[in-house]
Amino acid sequence: MKDLMGKAIRDYYYNENPEDLQTETSISELDELPVAYLFRDFEEMNNIEQEALHLATGKILDIGAGAGSHSLYLQNDKGLDVLALDISPKSIEVCQLRGVRNAVSQDILDFSGETFDTILLLMNGTGIFENLDKIDTYLQKLYSLLNDNGQILIDSTDILYMFDRDEDGGVYIPADGYYGELDYIVHYKGESEEPIQWLYLDFETLKNAAENNGFRVEKVLQSEDSYLAKLIKK
């Protein structure tokens, strides 16, 4: 992995000629992602992120921490015990430099040894599940990391709106798999990562999968086509 996301985050932190990231998926064209967005403070976050941070309590695991903005708010403004986790070593380096006291670079499937009261997965948190075939593996892993009275706060977007419709309102979606299974590619300073699998889930699909893996599921907030869900052990 070239860790281009981490490189952009590190360049921005050190002011070493940072450029905007570019992202694309198998169903969308190139889109600009300003690196500064990854360093936003609470007031600049969307309502789903703000609600998730408001609901977060106890000992926190922030999965996909990026530059650490969510972790820093929870640690500094709410006084909570937070562990920032990201597969990107450069991102975790910046988390530490920005003041996140506990930060680890590791794949969530390889992480163990602690349990948490709140597990956060934000900015399309279901993306890390990769595809529907792997969702049970990830949900079982998250279940094992959650205290008995704990909660998982996770967001996603139903991307059905991105597909063409016919005159009767029918949607043209791929016949070979779930429409939220995408390839996601990051570009930075002329380099490109290998495509990764990235999963967008409609709420009912997430709910069914989570219930099959021992969770009770509640939709906390709906914002246009995106939502925040809370998963609690049954």
> Taking the CB of residue 124, how many other CB atoms lie within 10 A of it?
20
Give domain status of residue 165, yes or no. no
Share of the chain above pLDDT 70, in %: 95
Which of 160, 139, 146, 148 lies closest to 118 in space, CA to CA?
146
Per residue in 113-129, pLDDT tens?
999 999 999 999 999 99
Distance in angstroms (rounded) separating the CA atoms of residues 94 and 2: 16
> Does residue 10 belong to any structural domain of this protein?
yes
The reply to whether 43 falls in a domain is: yes
The answer to whether position 136 is within a domain reads: yes
Residue 134 lies in a domain: yes
Tens-place pLDDT, residues 162-217: 876 666 666 566 667 899 999 999 999 999 999 999 999 999 999 999 999 999 99
Classify residue 164: in a domain, yes or no: no
pLDDT at 174: 67
Which CATH number does the domain housing residue 116 bear?
3.40.50.150
Flag whether 218 is in a domain.
yes
Q: Determine, yes or no, domain membership for 69.
A: yes
pLDDT at 46 over 90: yes
- pLDDT of res. 161: 81
Range of the domain at 72: 4-159+170-233
pLDDT of residue 176: 73
Paired tokens of 87 = 């597969």
Q: Which residues sit opposite 233 in a β-bridge?
A: 215
pLDDT of residue 166: 62
Given this model, what pLDDT does residue 163 score?
74
How far does Cα 15 stand from its chain's mean position? 25
Tell me the whole-structure pTM to 2 decimals: 0.94
Contact predicate 119/153, CB 8 Å: yes
Report how many domains make up the chain. Answer: 1
